[in-house]
Amino acid sequence: NACIPSATYRPAYHYTPEKNWVNDPNGLVYLDGEYHLFYQYNPAGDKWGHMSWGHAVSKNLKTWEELPLAIPETMNADGSTNMVFSGAAVVDSLNTSGFFEKGFTKGMVAIYTSHLNKNGEGMAQSQSLAYSSDKGRTWKFYDKNPVLAIGLKDFRDPNVFMQEGKWKMIVAKPLEFMVQIYESTNLKEWTLLSEFGKMGDVAKIWECPSLFKVPVENSDNSKWVMLISSAAEATEFTGMQYFVGEFDGKSFVPDKQEGVLRLDRGKDFYAAIPFQNLPAKDKNPIIIGWGSNWSYAGDIPSEGRRGMFSMPRKLSLVKENGQFRLVQKPIYSNRIHSKELILKASELTKPKTWEMKNNSYKLGLVIDLGNSNGFAMELLKNEEEKCVLTYNAMTQKLFFDRTKSGKIDFNKNFSSIESMQVVPQNGVLKLDIFVDNSIVEVFANEGKVVLTDLVFPQKNGGKIILSLLKD
Protein backbone atom coordinates (compact mmCIF):
# COMPACT_ATOMS: atom_id res chain seq x y z
CA ASN A 1 0.00 0.00 0.00
CA ALA A 2 1.63 3.20 -1.20
CA CYS A 3 -0.17 5.29 1.45
CA ILE A 4 1.53 3.56 4.33
CA PRO A 5 5.14 4.69 4.62
CA SER A 6 7.82 2.16 5.37
CA ALA A 7 8.83 1.66 8.91
CA THR A 8 12.00 2.64 10.65
CA TYR A 9 13.39 0.05 13.01
CA ARG A 10 15.07 2.57 15.28
CA PRO A 11 13.10 2.82 18.53
CA ALA A 12 11.93 6.27 19.64
CA TYR A 13 12.09 5.86 23.41
CA HIS A 14 14.43 2.89 23.77
CA TYR A 15 18.11 3.76 23.50
CA THR A 16 20.18 2.76 20.50
CA PRO A 17 23.34 4.47 19.32
CA GLU A 18 23.21 6.25 15.98
CA LYS A 19 25.00 3.43 14.22
CA ASN A 20 26.84 0.12 14.63
CA TRP A 21 26.51 -3.02 16.69
CA VAL A 22 25.61 -3.19 20.39
CA ASN A 23 25.12 -6.00 22.87
CA ASP A 24 25.26 -6.07 26.69
CA PRO A 25 24.73 -2.98 28.83
CA ASN A 26 27.93 -2.40 30.85
CA GLY A 27 28.98 -0.17 33.73
CA LEU A 28 25.53 1.09 34.66
CA VAL A 29 26.30 3.75 37.23
CA TYR A 30 24.86 7.00 38.53
CA LEU A 31 27.01 10.04 39.26
CA ASP A 32 26.10 13.67 39.83
CA GLY A 33 22.71 13.78 38.16
CA GLU A 34 23.67 11.47 35.28
CA TYR A 35 22.77 7.85 34.68
CA HIS A 36 25.53 6.24 32.62
CA LEU A 37 24.87 3.48 30.17
CA PHE A 38 28.06 1.94 28.82
CA TYR A 39 27.64 -0.98 26.47
CA GLN A 40 29.32 -3.56 24.28
CA TYR A 41 29.92 -1.70 21.03
CA ASN A 42 31.66 -2.30 17.73
CA PRO A 43 32.90 1.13 16.59
CA ALA A 44 33.67 -0.34 13.16
CA GLY A 45 30.40 -1.83 12.01
CA ASP A 46 27.02 -3.44 12.51
CA LYS A 47 28.32 -6.92 13.33
CA TRP A 48 29.88 -8.16 16.58
CA GLY A 49 33.62 -7.36 16.67
CA HIS A 50 36.29 -4.97 17.99
CA MET A 51 34.38 -5.01 21.26
CA SER A 52 34.73 -1.73 23.11
CA TRP A 53 32.60 0.25 25.54
CA GLY A 54 30.17 2.71 23.96
CA HIS A 55 28.62 5.36 26.17
CA ALA A 56 25.35 7.25 26.67
CA VAL A 57 24.05 9.39 29.53
CA SER A 58 20.60 10.33 30.73
CA LYS A 59 19.24 12.66 33.38
CA ASN A 60 15.84 10.97 33.62
CA LEU A 61 16.35 7.39 32.31
CA LYS A 62 13.97 8.21 29.46
CA THR A 63 15.98 10.26 27.00
CA TRP A 64 19.62 9.47 26.31
CA GLU A 65 22.54 11.34 24.82
CA GLU A 66 25.17 9.36 22.96
CA LEU A 67 28.74 10.26 23.90
CA PRO A 68 32.02 9.38 22.17
CA LEU A 69 33.47 5.88 22.52
CA ALA A 70 34.52 5.37 26.15
CA ILE A 71 36.91 2.40 26.37
CA PRO A 72 38.38 1.10 23.10
CA GLU A 73 39.80 -2.25 22.04
CA THR A 74 43.61 -2.04 22.03
CA MET A 75 46.22 -3.71 19.83
CA ASN A 76 49.26 -5.63 21.07
CA ALA A 77 52.70 -5.72 19.43
CA ASP A 78 52.04 -9.19 17.95
CA GLY A 79 48.85 -8.02 16.26
CA SER A 80 46.54 -9.63 18.81
CA THR A 81 43.97 -7.37 20.43
CA ASN A 82 42.49 -6.88 23.87
CA MET A 83 38.78 -6.57 23.48
CA VAL A 84 36.91 -4.80 26.25
CA PHE A 85 34.18 -7.24 27.24
CA SER A 86 31.33 -6.75 29.70
CA GLY A 87 31.72 -5.43 33.21
CA ALA A 88 30.74 -2.85 35.76
CA ALA A 89 31.58 0.71 36.77
CA VAL A 90 31.70 2.09 40.29
CA VAL A 91 32.25 5.50 41.84
CA ASP A 92 35.37 5.26 43.99
CA SER A 93 34.40 8.18 46.23
CA LEU A 94 37.04 7.31 48.86
CA ASN A 95 39.77 6.86 46.27
CA THR A 96 40.39 3.32 47.53
CA SER A 97 42.12 2.57 44.23
CA GLY A 98 44.54 5.48 44.53
CA PHE A 99 43.85 6.34 40.89
CA PHE A 100 42.69 9.87 41.69
CA GLU A 101 43.91 13.09 43.25
CA LYS A 102 43.77 13.18 47.02
CA GLY A 103 40.27 14.05 48.23
CA PHE A 104 38.64 13.65 44.79
CA THR A 105 35.27 11.97 45.32
CA LYS A 106 34.01 11.57 41.77
CA GLY A 107 36.41 9.08 40.28
CA MET A 108 34.89 6.33 38.19
CA VAL A 109 36.48 2.89 37.88
CA ALA A 110 35.46 0.39 35.24
CA ILE A 111 36.03 -3.29 35.99
CA TYR A 112 35.76 -5.22 32.74
CA THR A 113 36.90 -8.43 31.09
CA SER A 114 39.99 -8.24 28.89
CA HIS A 115 39.42 -10.70 26.08
CA LEU A 116 42.65 -11.57 24.32
CA ASN A 117 41.84 -12.10 20.69
CA LYS A 118 44.33 -13.60 18.25
CA ASN A 119 43.44 -14.15 14.60
CA GLY A 120 39.76 -14.02 15.49
CA GLU A 121 40.08 -16.53 18.30
CA GLY A 122 39.62 -15.96 22.04
CA MET A 123 42.82 -16.93 23.88
CA ALA A 124 42.24 -15.81 27.49
CA GLN A 125 39.91 -13.77 29.66
CA SER A 126 40.86 -11.82 32.77
CA GLN A 127 39.51 -8.86 34.74
CA SER A 128 41.01 -5.40 34.19
CA LEU A 129 40.55 -1.81 35.30
CA ALA A 130 40.21 1.57 33.63
CA TYR A 131 39.53 4.84 35.39
CA SER A 132 38.07 8.25 34.64
CA SER A 133 38.28 11.60 36.44
CA ASP A 134 35.83 13.35 34.13
CA LYS A 135 32.59 11.44 34.68
CA GLY A 136 33.26 8.71 32.18
CA ARG A 137 34.18 10.96 29.24
CA THR A 138 37.82 9.88 29.00
CA TRP A 139 39.51 6.79 30.43
CA LYS A 140 42.99 5.55 31.27
CA PHE A 141 43.90 1.88 31.50
CA TYR A 142 45.48 0.68 34.76
CA ASP A 143 49.13 0.01 33.88
CA LYS A 144 49.23 -3.28 35.82
CA ASN A 145 46.23 -4.94 34.16
CA PRO A 146 44.88 -7.54 34.52
CA VAL A 147 43.91 -7.52 38.20
CA LEU A 148 42.34 -10.96 38.24
CA ALA A 149 43.28 -13.96 36.10
CA ILE A 150 42.80 -17.61 37.03
CA GLY A 151 44.10 -19.26 33.90
CA LEU A 152 40.69 -19.91 32.41
CA LYS A 153 39.87 -19.15 28.80
CA ASP A 154 36.29 -18.38 29.82
CA PHE A 155 36.13 -16.18 32.91
CA ARG A 156 34.17 -13.00 32.52
CA ASP A 157 31.64 -10.25 33.17
CA PRO A 158 32.60 -8.90 36.61
CA ASN A 159 29.95 -6.96 38.52
CA VAL A 160 31.21 -4.94 41.47
CA PHE A 161 29.43 -3.32 44.41
CA MET A 162 30.36 -1.88 47.78
CA GLN A 163 29.18 -3.63 50.94
CA GLU A 164 30.13 -2.38 54.38
CA GLY A 165 33.26 -0.65 53.17
CA LYS A 166 34.52 -3.53 51.01
CA TRP A 167 34.27 -4.07 47.28
CA LYS A 168 32.65 -7.33 46.21
CA MET A 169 32.93 -8.78 42.73
CA ILE A 170 30.73 -11.45 41.22
CA VAL A 171 32.16 -12.96 38.05
CA ALA A 172 31.24 -15.93 35.84
CA LYS A 173 32.96 -19.16 34.94
CA PRO A 174 30.55 -19.59 32.02
CA LEU A 175 31.33 -23.14 30.93
CA GLU A 176 31.04 -24.46 34.50
CA PHE A 177 27.66 -22.75 35.22
CA MET A 178 29.36 -21.15 38.21
CA VAL A 179 29.98 -17.69 39.60
CA GLN A 180 32.74 -16.67 41.97
CA ILE A 181 32.52 -13.97 44.61
CA TYR A 182 35.64 -11.97 45.46
CA GLU A 183 36.46 -9.18 47.89
CA SER A 184 38.86 -6.23 47.69
CA THR A 185 39.70 -3.04 49.53
CA ASN A 186 41.31 -1.28 46.55
CA LEU A 187 39.77 -2.82 43.41
CA LYS A 188 43.24 -4.09 42.48
CA GLU A 189 43.79 -7.10 44.74
CA TRP A 190 41.00 -9.63 44.94
CA THR A 191 40.47 -12.50 47.39
CA LEU A 192 38.14 -15.37 46.57
CA LEU A 193 35.28 -15.70 49.09
CA SER A 194 32.96 -18.31 47.63
CA GLU A 195 31.48 -19.97 44.60
CA PHE A 196 27.91 -20.58 43.61
CA GLY A 197 26.30 -22.45 40.76
CA LYS A 198 25.33 -25.66 39.01
CA MET A 199 21.74 -24.91 39.99
CA GLY A 200 18.62 -23.71 38.26
CA ASP A 201 19.04 -23.56 34.49
CA VAL A 202 22.36 -25.04 33.38
CA ALA A 203 21.37 -25.76 29.81
CA LYS A 204 23.57 -22.99 28.48
CA ILE A 205 26.67 -21.09 29.62
CA TRP A 206 26.35 -18.60 32.48
CA GLU A 207 27.25 -14.98 31.75
CA CYS A 208 26.79 -11.48 33.17
CA PRO A 209 26.09 -12.29 36.84
CA SER A 210 25.07 -9.62 39.33
CA LEU A 211 24.14 -9.63 43.00
CA PHE A 212 22.18 -6.95 44.83
CA LYS A 213 19.56 -6.25 47.47
CA VAL A 214 15.93 -5.85 46.49
CA PRO A 215 13.21 -4.45 48.78
CA VAL A 216 10.17 -6.63 49.46
CA GLU A 217 6.95 -4.75 48.63
CA ASN A 218 4.85 -3.56 51.58
CA SER A 219 7.51 -4.42 54.13
CA ASP A 220 10.78 -3.12 55.54
CA ASN A 221 12.59 -6.26 54.46
CA SER A 222 14.82 -6.91 51.53
CA LYS A 223 16.41 -10.04 50.07
CA TRP A 224 19.43 -10.62 47.86
CA VAL A 225 18.86 -11.39 44.21
CA MET A 226 21.35 -12.91 41.80
CA LEU A 227 20.76 -12.38 38.09
CA ILE A 228 22.36 -14.79 35.63
CA SER A 229 22.24 -14.66 31.87
CA SER A 230 21.85 -18.28 30.94
CA ALA A 231 19.26 -20.15 28.93
CA ALA A 232 15.65 -19.52 28.09
CA GLU A 233 12.89 -22.12 27.85
CA ALA A 234 14.56 -23.78 24.87
CA THR A 235 18.31 -24.28 24.76
CA GLU A 236 18.80 -22.65 21.38
CA PHE A 237 17.80 -19.33 22.95
CA THR A 238 19.58 -17.15 25.47
CA GLY A 239 17.55 -15.69 28.33
CA MET A 240 17.85 -14.83 32.00
CA GLN A 241 17.19 -16.53 35.31
CA TYR A 242 17.45 -15.31 38.88
CA PHE A 243 17.85 -16.65 42.38
CA VAL A 244 16.47 -15.09 45.56
CA GLY A 245 18.33 -15.69 48.80
CA GLU A 246 20.69 -14.34 51.42
CA PHE A 247 24.23 -13.01 51.16
CA ASP A 248 26.24 -12.73 54.37
CA GLY A 249 29.10 -10.83 52.78
CA LYS A 250 30.82 -14.08 51.82
CA SER A 251 28.43 -16.61 50.32
CA PHE A 252 25.14 -16.47 48.55
CA VAL A 253 22.61 -19.03 49.79
CA PRO A 254 19.47 -19.31 47.66
CA ASP A 255 16.03 -19.92 49.14
CA LYS A 256 14.41 -23.23 48.20
CA GLN A 257 12.86 -22.72 44.81
CA GLU A 258 10.61 -24.75 42.58
CA GLY A 259 11.82 -24.82 39.02
CA VAL A 260 13.69 -22.03 37.30
CA LEU A 261 12.85 -18.37 37.99
CA ARG A 262 12.86 -16.58 34.66
CA LEU A 263 13.19 -12.84 34.46
CA ASP A 264 11.47 -12.21 31.15
CA ARG A 265 9.19 -14.51 29.17
CA GLY A 266 10.04 -13.10 25.75
CA LYS A 267 13.05 -13.89 23.58
CA ASP A 268 14.79 -10.55 23.67
CA PHE A 269 16.01 -9.66 27.13
CA TYR A 270 19.57 -10.61 28.06
CA ALA A 271 22.68 -9.49 29.95
CA ALA A 272 20.73 -7.14 32.24
CA ILE A 273 22.66 -5.70 35.19
CA PRO A 274 21.75 -3.17 37.90
CA PHE A 275 22.85 0.45 38.29
CA GLN A 276 25.48 1.13 40.94
CA ASN A 277 25.58 4.19 43.18
CA LEU A 278 21.93 5.13 42.72
CA PRO A 279 20.79 8.31 44.48
CA ALA A 280 18.66 7.91 47.59
CA LYS A 281 15.48 8.79 45.69
CA ASP A 282 15.84 5.57 43.68
CA LYS A 283 15.07 3.16 46.52
CA ASN A 284 14.69 0.17 44.23
CA PRO A 285 17.37 -1.32 42.00
CA ILE A 286 17.10 -0.42 38.32
CA ILE A 287 18.21 -2.75 35.54
CA ILE A 288 18.61 -2.44 31.78
CA GLY A 289 18.89 -5.42 29.46
CA TRP A 290 20.05 -5.96 25.89
CA GLY A 291 17.07 -6.39 23.61
CA SER A 292 18.13 -9.33 21.47
CA ASN A 293 18.99 -13.00 21.49
CA TRP A 294 22.32 -14.57 20.51
CA SER A 295 20.31 -17.09 18.52
CA TYR A 296 19.74 -14.49 15.77
CA ALA A 297 21.28 -11.21 17.02
CA GLY A 298 23.72 -11.02 14.11
CA ASP A 299 20.99 -11.48 11.49
CA ILE A 300 18.30 -8.98 12.52
CA PRO A 301 17.58 -6.22 9.95
CA SER A 302 20.22 -3.57 10.45
CA GLU A 303 19.80 -0.05 9.00
CA GLY A 304 23.51 0.27 9.85
CA ARG A 305 22.66 -0.30 13.50
CA ARG A 306 22.01 -3.59 15.25
CA GLY A 307 20.80 -4.21 18.79
CA MET A 308 19.02 -2.03 21.32
CA PHE A 309 18.34 -1.76 25.02
CA SER A 310 15.26 -2.40 27.08
CA MET A 311 13.65 0.40 29.03
CA PRO A 312 15.13 0.73 32.50
CA ARG A 313 13.07 -1.33 34.98
CA LYS A 314 12.67 -0.88 38.71
CA LEU A 315 12.78 -4.06 40.72
CA SER A 316 10.96 -5.17 43.84
CA LEU A 317 10.03 -8.52 45.37
CA VAL A 318 6.64 -9.97 46.26
CA LYS A 319 5.89 -13.20 48.06
CA GLU A 320 3.51 -15.52 46.26
CA ASN A 321 2.69 -19.04 47.42
CA GLY A 322 5.58 -18.90 49.86
CA GLN A 323 8.15 -17.88 47.22
CA PHE A 324 9.69 -14.52 46.50
CA ARG A 325 9.35 -13.31 42.93
CA LEU A 326 10.80 -10.33 41.16
CA VAL A 327 8.45 -7.62 39.98
CA GLN A 328 9.64 -5.29 37.23
CA LYS A 329 8.16 -1.86 36.66
CA PRO A 330 8.92 0.22 33.60
CA ILE A 331 10.49 3.57 34.23
CA TYR A 332 7.42 5.19 32.69
CA SER A 333 5.37 4.97 35.85
CA ASN A 334 2.50 2.57 35.60
CA ARG A 335 -0.93 3.66 34.44
CA ILE A 336 -0.03 7.09 33.16
CA HIS A 337 0.63 6.11 29.62
CA SER A 338 -0.36 8.07 26.60
CA LYS A 339 -3.53 5.99 26.56
CA GLU A 340 -5.02 4.27 29.55
CA LEU A 341 -8.22 2.34 29.38
CA ILE A 342 -10.49 0.40 31.61
CA LEU A 343 -12.44 -2.07 29.52
CA LYS A 344 -15.16 -4.48 30.49
CA ALA A 345 -15.16 -7.59 28.33
CA SER A 346 -18.95 -7.79 28.77
CA GLU A 347 -19.29 -4.43 26.99
CA LEU A 348 -16.94 -5.28 24.16
CA THR A 349 -19.65 -6.39 21.74
CA LYS A 350 -17.61 -5.54 18.67
CA PRO A 351 -13.84 -5.17 18.20
CA LYS A 352 -12.32 -1.97 19.46
CA THR A 353 -9.92 -0.25 17.10
CA TRP A 354 -7.30 2.44 17.52
CA GLU A 355 -5.65 4.10 14.52
CA MET A 356 -1.92 4.58 15.02
CA LYS A 357 0.08 7.22 13.15
CA ASN A 358 3.28 5.32 13.65
CA ASN A 359 4.72 2.23 15.27
CA SER A 360 5.79 3.80 18.55
CA TYR A 361 3.26 4.02 21.35
CA LYS A 362 2.47 3.20 24.96
CA LEU A 363 -0.81 1.72 26.02
CA GLY A 364 -2.05 0.94 29.52
CA LEU A 365 -5.08 -1.38 29.70
CA VAL A 366 -7.14 -2.71 32.55
CA ILE A 367 -9.40 -5.47 31.30
CA ASP A 368 -12.26 -6.80 33.38
CA LEU A 369 -12.56 -10.32 31.98
CA GLY A 370 -16.11 -11.03 33.20
CA ASN A 371 -17.34 -14.35 31.79
CA SER A 372 -15.38 -13.97 28.57
CA ASN A 373 -13.02 -16.57 27.16
CA GLY A 374 -10.34 -13.92 26.90
CA PHE A 375 -9.29 -11.59 24.12
CA ALA A 376 -6.95 -11.07 21.21
CA MET A 377 -5.17 -7.83 20.58
CA GLU A 378 -3.58 -7.15 17.24
CA LEU A 379 -0.73 -4.70 17.60
CA LEU A 380 0.90 -2.95 14.62
CA LYS A 381 -1.85 -4.25 12.36
CA ASN A 382 -1.80 -3.25 8.68
CA GLU A 383 -2.79 -5.33 5.67
CA GLU A 384 -0.36 -8.20 5.97
CA GLU A 385 1.40 -7.57 9.24
CA LYS A 386 0.44 -7.91 12.87
CA CYS A 387 1.73 -9.00 16.26
CA VAL A 388 -0.93 -10.66 18.34
CA LEU A 389 -1.23 -10.59 22.10
CA THR A 390 -3.82 -13.19 23.12
CA TYR A 391 -5.17 -13.97 26.55
CA ASN A 392 -6.93 -17.26 27.11
CA ALA A 393 -9.05 -16.93 30.26
CA MET A 394 -9.58 -20.70 30.52
CA THR A 395 -5.89 -21.61 30.67
CA GLN A 396 -4.85 -18.22 32.10
CA LYS A 397 -2.18 -17.98 29.46
CA LEU A 398 -0.94 -14.90 27.66
CA PHE A 399 0.58 -15.40 24.21
CA PHE A 400 2.64 -13.11 22.04
CA ASP A 401 2.73 -14.14 18.40
CA ARG A 402 5.25 -12.50 16.08
CA THR A 403 5.01 -15.05 13.26
CA LYS A 404 3.34 -12.45 10.99
CA SER A 405 5.01 -9.38 12.46
CA GLY A 406 6.81 -8.24 9.29
CA LYS A 407 10.35 -9.26 8.43
CA ILE A 408 10.94 -12.69 9.98
CA ASP A 409 12.85 -14.68 7.39
CA PHE A 410 16.36 -13.46 8.28
CA ASN A 411 16.80 -16.36 10.73
CA LYS A 412 14.80 -19.54 11.16
CA ASN A 413 14.64 -19.15 14.93
CA PHE A 414 13.08 -15.69 14.90
CA SER A 415 9.46 -16.42 14.07
CA SER A 416 7.97 -17.41 17.41
CA ILE A 417 4.99 -17.50 19.75
CA GLU A 418 5.76 -16.88 23.40
CA SER A 419 3.42 -18.14 26.09
CA MET A 420 3.28 -17.42 29.78
CA GLN A 421 1.01 -17.98 32.76
CA VAL A 422 -0.73 -14.82 33.97
CA VAL A 423 -3.29 -15.17 36.77
CA PRO A 424 -5.92 -12.40 36.75
CA GLN A 425 -6.28 -10.44 39.96
CA ASN A 426 -9.92 -10.14 41.07
CA GLY A 427 -11.04 -10.99 37.55
CA VAL A 428 -8.94 -8.18 36.10
CA LEU A 429 -5.89 -8.28 33.86
CA LYS A 430 -3.60 -5.27 33.71
CA LEU A 431 -1.38 -4.79 30.71
CA ASP A 432 1.17 -2.08 30.10
CA ILE A 433 2.17 -2.36 26.49
CA PHE A 434 5.17 -0.55 25.04
CA VAL A 435 5.51 -0.79 21.30
CA ASP A 436 8.49 1.09 19.91
CA ASN A 437 9.12 0.44 16.22
CA SER A 438 11.11 -2.77 16.57
CA ILE A 439 10.80 -3.64 20.25
CA VAL A 440 7.74 -4.64 22.26
CA GLU A 441 7.73 -4.79 26.05
CA VAL A 442 4.64 -6.03 27.86
CA PHE A 443 4.24 -5.77 31.64
CA ALA A 444 1.33 -7.88 32.87
CA ASN A 445 -0.23 -7.40 36.30
CA GLU A 446 1.96 -4.44 37.14
CA GLY A 447 5.22 -6.12 36.33
CA LYS A 448 4.69 -9.60 37.75
CA VAL A 449 5.09 -11.13 34.31
CA VAL A 450 7.15 -9.37 31.66
CA LEU A 451 7.84 -10.07 28.03
CA THR A 452 10.31 -8.44 25.64
CA ASP A 453 10.33 -9.30 21.94
CA LEU A 454 11.78 -7.69 18.85
CA VAL A 455 9.58 -7.27 15.77
CA PHE A 456 10.34 -5.85 12.34
CA PRO A 457 7.18 -4.47 10.72
CA GLN A 458 7.75 -3.16 7.23
CA LYS A 459 5.00 -0.55 7.28
CA ASN A 460 4.72 2.45 9.54
CA GLY A 461 1.35 3.10 11.17
CA GLY A 462 -1.67 0.87 11.27
CA LYS A 463 -4.20 -0.22 13.81
CA ILE A 464 -4.59 -1.81 17.18
CA ILE A 465 -7.59 -4.13 17.21
CA LEU A 466 -8.93 -5.64 20.40
CA SER A 467 -11.58 -8.34 20.19
CA LEU A 468 -13.01 -11.03 22.41
CA LEU A 469 -12.10 -14.65 21.84
CA LYS A 470 -15.01 -16.67 20.51
CA ASP A 471 -16.09 -19.98 22.10
Active site amino acids: 24
Smallest separation (angstroms) from ligand FRU to the CB of 161:
18
Q: Which of residues 181-220 bind ligand FRU (CB under 6 A)?
A: 207-208
Least spacing, CB of residue 87 vs ligand FRU, in Å: 8
Q: Within 246-355, where are the H helices?
A: none
Q: Which is nearer to ligand FRU, 23 or 360 (CB)?
A: 23
- Amino acid present at 230: S
Smallest separation, CB 40 to ligand FRU (Å): 4
In the complex, least distance from residue 113 CB atom to ligand FRU, rounded to whole angstroms: 5
In angstroms, what is the minimal distance from the CB of 308 to ligand FRU?
14
**C-beta of 228 vs 327, nearer to ligand FRU:** 228
CA 166, 169, 171: angle at the middle one, nearest 5? 170
Asked if the bond preceding 146 is cis, omega within 30° of 0, the reply is yes
Select the residue interacting with ligand FRU from 271, 272, 273, 363 (CB under 6 A).
271
Q: Does 273 bind ligand FRU (CB under 6 A)?
A: no
| Beta carbons within 8 Å of 236's beta carbon, 6+ residues apart | 295, 413
> By CB under 6 A, what part of segment 128-187 binds ligand FRU?
156-157
Exposure b/e, 395-428, CB count within 10 A at least 16 = b: eeebbbbbebbbbbeeeeebebebbbebebeeee
Ramachandran angles phi, psi of 28, nearest 5°: -70, 120
Task: Give the nearer residue to ligand FRU in terms of CB position, either 271 or 308.
Answer: 271
Q: Which residue among 9, 11, 16, 23 contacts ligand FRU (CB under 6 A)?
A: 23
**Which residues partner with 227 through β-bridges?**
210, 242
Please report how close the Cβ of residue 229 comes to ligand FRU at its closest, in angstroms.
Answer: 6
Cα 346 from Cα 335, distance rounded (Å): 22
In terms of CB distance, is 207 or 378 closer to ligand FRU? 207
Of 85 and 182, which CB lies nearer to ligand FRU in the complex structure? 85
Is 407 strand, coil or helix?
coil
**Contacts (CB under 6 A) with ligand FRU, residues 91-130:** 113
Contact indicator for 153, 124 with CB cutoff of 8 Å: yes
Identity of the residue, 84 or 439, whose beta carbon is nearer to ligand FRU in the bound complex? 84
> Interaction with ligand FRU in 29-58: which residues (CB under 6 A)?
40, 51
Contacts 24+ apart (CB under 8 A), 185-192: 185/96, 186/96, 186/97, 186/98, 187/90, 187/92, 187/96, 187/97, 187/109, 187/111, 187/129, 187/147, 187/160, 188/97, 188/129, 188/142, 188/144, 188/147, 189/147, 190/127, 190/147, 190/148
Q: If binding means CB under 6 A, how many residues of this protein chain bind ligand FRU?
A: 12
List residues near ligand FRU by CB under 6 A: 23-24, 40, 51, 85-86, 113, 156-157, 207-208, 271
